[in-house]
């Protein structure tokens, strides 16, 4: 709920505004290179599973970035020339939340194993994303972390109030 209104229709309306854009400068401004219009088109129609699939194509952890990213994509939104930019960060967060709520987040096991072993040093977002991609490519991955718990910057560098 947002100001007494159901959130999902509001988020879909925001995603629909993205379809009014001629040149999507937003994904050029995204540090991850998210293909924002690709998942917004599905969010606009309430197809959260497909939106999550497209979002996960470029972003291993949208549930984190949807909360923590400073959203430079929104500053690059063409619509902000005449109106408010599309609420991309909120859409991303909602897509991730709906993917988890709808049980659409599933492991993607490799189609075949490569027989290679890879060590990843560090269990922060970059290390875990690398481990995930290497596993999907069929490699056996071991993650090494010097701290007693995984998470890196997400665990130790972000204040609790965030």
How big is the chain by its Cα radius of gyration, in Å?
17
Can you give the pLDDT at residue 68? Answer: 87
Measured distance CA(59)–CA(54) in Å, rounded: 9
Report in angstroms the alpha-carbon separations of 8 from 14, 76, 91, 125. 10, 24, 9, 28
pLDDT band of residue 158 (cuts 50, 70, 90) is confident
What CATH number labels 7-101?
A: 1.10.1060.10
Q: What is the reported pLDDT for 59? A: 92
pLDDT of residue 8: 86
Q: For residue range 61-114, list pLDDT tens digits in order.
A: 998 888 889 999 999 999 988 999 999 999 999 999 999 999 998 888 899 999
Q: Where are the domains of the chain?
A: 7-101, 117-156
Share of the chain above pLDDT 90, in %: 69
Residue 133 pLDDT level (bands cut at 50, 70, 90) = very high
């Amino acid at each position: 709920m947002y100001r007494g209104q159901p959130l999902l229709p509001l988020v879909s309306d925001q995603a629909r505004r993205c379809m009014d854009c001629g040149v999507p400068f937003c994904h050029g401004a995204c540090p991850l290179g998210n293909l924002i219009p690709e998942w917004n088109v599905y969010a606009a129609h309430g197809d959260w599973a497909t939106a999550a699939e497209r979002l996960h194509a470029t972003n291993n952890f949208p549930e984190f970035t949807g909360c923590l990213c400073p959203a430079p994509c929104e500053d690059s939104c063409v619509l902000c020339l005449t109106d408010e930019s599309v609420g991309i960060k909120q859409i991303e967060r909602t897509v991730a939340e709906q993917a988890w709520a709808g049980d659409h987040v599933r492991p993607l096991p490799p189609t075949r194993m490569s027989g290679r072993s890879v060590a990843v040093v560090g269990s922060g977002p970059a290390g875990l994303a690398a481990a995930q991609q290497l596993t999907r490519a069929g490699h056996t991955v071991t993650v090494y972390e010097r701290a007693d718990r995984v998470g890196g910057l997400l665990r130790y560098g972000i204040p609790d109030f965030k």
